[in-house]
Amino acid sequence: MTQVSPPDAVRPIAWRDDALVLLDQRVLPQEEKDVVCRTAGEAAAAIRDMVVRGAPAIGITAAWGVVLAVQEHGNAPDWQAKLAADMARLRESRPTAVNLFWALDRMQLRLNQLVTEGADAAQRCASMLAEAQAIHEDDIAINRRMGVLGADYIGKGESVLTHCNAGALATGGYGTALGVIRSAWAADRLAGVYADETRPWLQGARLTAWELLRDGIPTTLIVEGAAASLMAQGQVQWVIVGADRVAANGDVANKIGTYGLAVLARQHGVRFMVVAPTSTVDLDCPEGAAIPIETRAAEEVTRLGDRPVAAPGAGAWNPVFDVTPAALVDVLVTERGVLERPDRDSLLALMESA
């Protein structure tokens, strides 16, 4: 029998005993193991090595990484130079998730204020810890609000397809796309959830299914190649995904395969929803073509864990993300409101709203 947990029980990031504690997502669902980071360098490595993943979670982890750096360097004569080097290391950990840079910029702004105020080392530590905690707690509250807003679009008895993992594991808690799914399920709207396996890291099979089943939400896995047939048979009415960056014109960068789902959804009359906090919106990025797309090692494709699955000598192209044009997005859900058919003008108006 599946053990059902409270709908906000999964928390992949915690601050305990002056250290950052991360649920190691590389070993789920077979093992629930924590990775403890005591330096900013260790936090950066955890982001780079996929201990933690998902744009909001990456940003939160980076904010706590700054706290670790402030603690470590304390009153050292060159503390500002050391802290700058650590923040640069954090910035380089993942290039696509804009929340990383948003969180670091917010932490840098608070640090600048403290320097101007003449704060001592203890005051800097306390204030930066409070700032990181606020970023973390705000993310959870934002996810809950987006969950309610997005769930209003789900009709009674409808089913949804999601891709990768945009749940509590990808955020501070509750989730973006999975936050909508959780809210819709709680409102007795959803008939069921389909989840893409999501090669090569299998976030859908390992993480999304694990989260939803813990909440008692029925989940059916499919391989990505089955999505078209699923839609053709009328089995889903919505595709719901998160985002790692939203460009100023509404184009969306998300896990590789998202673009293909959007094309299939439009062909089959299935609606396509993106759920992302405004911290994911990058108004300095004019369109999707300007979003840097991370490419990872070929071995992630040619191997499955430690086991080779490809013919010896075969190469592999392994982009982590793709870009879905705004024209294929039916609904963009943010904590500030929902945009139907988002475009440059509506997105700018949303970002300028208080």
Print pLDDT tens along the chain (354 aa).
334 444 566 789 999 999 999 999 999 999 999 999 999 999 999 999 999 998 899 999 999 999 999 999 988 999 999 999 999 999 999 877 788 999 999 999 999 999 999 999 999 999 999 999 999 999 999 999 999 999 999 999 999 999 999 999 999 999 999 999 999 999 999 999 999 999 999 999 999 999 999 999 999 999 999 999 999 999 999 999 999 999 999 999 999 999 999 999 999 999 999 999 999 999 999 999 999 999 999 999 999 888 999 999 999 999 999 999 999 999 999 999 999 999 999 999 999 986
| Cβ burial 241-264 (10 Å sphere, 16+ → b, else e) | bbbbbbbbbbbbbbbbbbbbbbeb
pTM listed for this prediction: 0.89
Q: Write out the CATH class of domain 13-143.
A: mainly alpha
Asked if the domains 13-143 and 153-352 are classified in one and the same CATH topology, the answer is no
Domain ranges of the chain: 13-143, 153-352
Which secondary structure element, helix H or strand E, spans residue 234, and what is its range?
Answer: none
pLDDT in tens, 234-267: 999 999 999 999 999 999 999 999 999 999 999 9
| Cβ burial 153-188 (10 Å sphere, 16+ → b, else e) | bbeeebbbbbbbbbbbbbbbbbbbbbbbbbbbbeee
Enzyme catalytic residues? 244
Where does 153-352 sit in CATH, by number? 3.40.50.10470
